Structure formats: structure tokens, C-alpha cells
Amino acid sequence: MGTLAKVAGGVLAITFLTFVAFFGRLPALRHTPIAWLHRAIWVHIPNGVLALDRVLTGGRIISSGGAFGHYVWYGRHPTVLIFYILLLSVGEFLYLPGAWPRMSRSHQVAGAVAVVLPYVFLYLAAFGDPGVITPETHARYMSLYPYDFTIFHPGQECRTCRLLKPPRSKHCAVCKRCVARLDHHCVFINNCVGYGNQHWFLLLLLSTAVLTTYGGALGLGLVAETARTRSSLFSLWKHPKQPWHHYFVLLTYGIQADVGVGSVTLLAVMTSPLVWGLLGYHVYLIYCGTTTNESMKWQDWQAEMDDGFAFRRRLPIPRKRHPRFEAAWTRWPVEPAQMLVRTEDGQPPTDTAPPGEGPWERVWHLRDVENIYDIGFRDNLVDILVPGYSFRAEQPQSQSDLERGKGKRPKKSKR
């Protein structure tokens, strides 16, 4: 039982720390113990070690380690991608020899599909074009979405790429390039997740989650089957008449009878919630019509609103586009009906020039601001899964269609 407890504890600790490392900075987890632990691990403890190193070596050790750590986490290299592939392949190498002969034909077919699909989607996500913006593709990406005049404004130029930033795009500091509808840079695929490959990334998460869940459930069944050779009373849900110490002895026997199957089963059971959680978070972002990058910007706006420094006013519909900074037409069914600005002194802006019109109104809550990129969960999902899908004809039918997207607007904000 001691060895089993150590293995389970180590896997659980690694899983939890991975969760904290990747999710601790999310806006939804601010002011929670996860965020505090993330800050302790990545800010307070390193600062303490840095102060000690300055006293002992003048900061040389931390300087060298920091450069290496920055390269590992923020450099574009395949280290984590290779680790992920090894995690899958080595786990399957340990698991399948003991499990495959004991599986039924239907489980063998389903298992083969579950094993192959993550590799397929990993290849497509890692080596596909995430939506890199170049002079040749710039016009296309400018026509995908309109500027919302809230978190994306026309006329802004990328200082590195020297191109106008299309709506919803961002320059990736790791890849050193602008990407259309950039969600984030993923170290597990060594690539950005953007307009061109986000659907493959979601399918990668889904297939990996299914694989770990299926492998864990199948492995637990095989462990229980082995344990029942010693006691017919054993089941994964402890029998009321069975003492706890007897239950754990049999469970340990079932795991150690085939270490490959048992250890990989434990790993799959403990990591599966992490993968499902990541997938669930991205589905939630799709439901809200936003991205990881944009969710950070919305939280920045909420901070401005809390301070009373955010103001809005309406935009005319239809609105004359600036031919130099905006596409003449976009495939998106909704046009912005307002613009949002911040001031330094908390007083309404004195600027009354276009594109806005009418008086400025102070904004206190995100729910009072329309997110034009949220057109309902179904259409948001279509936008992700079917790149290039056009939500409207070349010419809108009416002013109402422009403003409300032909009835596809949700009734209220979900932020």
C-alpha cells in the first residue's frame, strides 16, 4: 500500500500543480486560493529565492536559471510537445500489452480509434496554420470581423509586423507573428491557437479527454477483475460487508498484478479531470463569444468600470467605414452600436468628433456593454468549427440586420 500511495500522491501532486500553473492567472479564478497559490509559486517564492541568491552569489544563479526558464516557457521549441507525445506513447506502450488480450472485440475497435485520434488532431493543431497574418493574407483576415470599438479599434498597427491589426488579432510574443483571432500560445502543441487551427485544438482536447476517461474506466474494470480472483466480494464500490483494510489490500493486488495497466490507469484517472476542465473552459469561452486573450481585456475593462473611468456612446447604424483602416465588408452579422473609451481623470471625454454620436454615458458593469462577437452559442461554435463560414450575404438587407445580426443576438450578456 505504501508504494501505491506514493505513486498516487505523486501523480495527484503533479496534476494539481499543473492545474495551478496553467489556470491560476485566469480571470474567473481571481481572488481564489488557486490564484493565491499561483502567485505564491510564481511570484513570492521566486522573489524570496532571488533575494537570497543576491546575498550569496550576487544573483548569478538566478540570472542563469531565469534565462533557461524563460526559454523553456516562452521560447518556441518542441520540448513540451515531445513530452506530451512521450506521455501518450509510453503510457500506451505500458498499458496495451496487458490490457489488449483481455478486451472484447468492440473494446479493441473503440480503443484503437481512441488511441489514434489524439495523434491526428495533435498533428493538425501543431503543424497547421493558426491564422498567421502576412501582407498576402491581411485583406482576408480584415474581412472576418468588424471592429467592436471596445477592445478592438481601427487604425492600430503592430509595431513588429508593421501591419494594421485586424479585429480580434494579436501579436504572439513567442512566435513573433500576428495571428487572427488569437486565443493563446500553447506550449503543448508548440504553436498558437488561432482562427485557423482552434477547431483542431478543441478536437485534440476532446479526443485526449475521451482517451484518458476511456482508458481509466477500462483499466479500473481490469483491476477489479484481477482483484476478484482473490475475493469474489470485491468491487470498485466497496461492499458494505468488506472491511476497508481488506478492500485496499485487494485493490493494491489488482494494480500491482500488472504494473503497466495499474500505473497508467491511475495516471489516466487523475489527469482526466484536468483535460475535461480545460476543454470545459474553452467551451465556456465559445459560449460567451470570446477568447482567452479577449477575456483578459474584458477583465481590464471591468477594473476601469469599477474605478468609474469607462464611458460609452452610440455609433450610427449604418456607419461609414474608414476606407484606409477598415474593410468595406465583413462576413459577420453584427455591427457595433456603441464605442467604449477610458479617461484618466474619471470625467466624460470632451471629444465629440465621429465615429460616435450623442452624449457620453458612464458605464459601471460589463453586462451593460454589448459583445458583438457573441452571436449565440450555436453560431459561435460554427465560427470556430467552420473557418471561413459567412454569416451574411454580400449586402445586408436592412439597417436592422446590420445592428442585430438578423435576429441571432442573445438576449443578454453572459460575461
Active site amino acids: 186
Q: How far apart are CA 193 and CA 291, in angstroms?
A: 10
Beta strand ranges found along 119-190 (DSSP E): 170-172, 177-179, 184-186
Q: In angstroms, how far is the first alpha carbon of the chain from the final one?
A: 47
Please say whether the beta carbons of 314 and 358 come within 8 A.
yes
Q: Give dist(CA 151, CA 290) in Å, integer.
A: 11
Q: Is the separation of the CB atoms in 72 and 59 below 8 Å?
A: no
| Contact in structure between 182 and 172 (CB atoms under 8 Å) | yes
Q: Is 172 left (phi over 0), alpha (psi -120 to 50) or beta?
A: beta
DSSP string, 251-315: HHHHHHTTHHHHHHHHHHHHHHHHHHHHHHHHHHHHHHT--HHHHHHHHHHHHHHHTT-EEEEE-
State the residue for C-alpha cell 465559445: 286
Q: Cell for 411?
A: 438576449
For residues 1 and 296, give the distance between their C-alpha atoms in angstroms, rounded to a whole number.
Answer: 45
The secondary element (H helix, E strand) that includes residue 185 is: strand 184-186
Q: What is the DSSP string of 243-259?
A: -HHHHHHHHHHHHHTTH
CA–CA distance, 37 with 218 (Å, rounded to integer)? 34
CA count, 13 A, side-chain hemisphere, 272: 17
Q: Is 398 left (phi over 0), alpha (psi -120 to 50) or beta?
A: beta
What is the C-alpha separation between 83 and 112, in angstroms, rounded? 22
Instruction: Phi first, then psi: give them for residue 3, nearest 5 degrees.
Output: -65, -45
Phi, psi of 100 (to 5 degrees): -60, -45
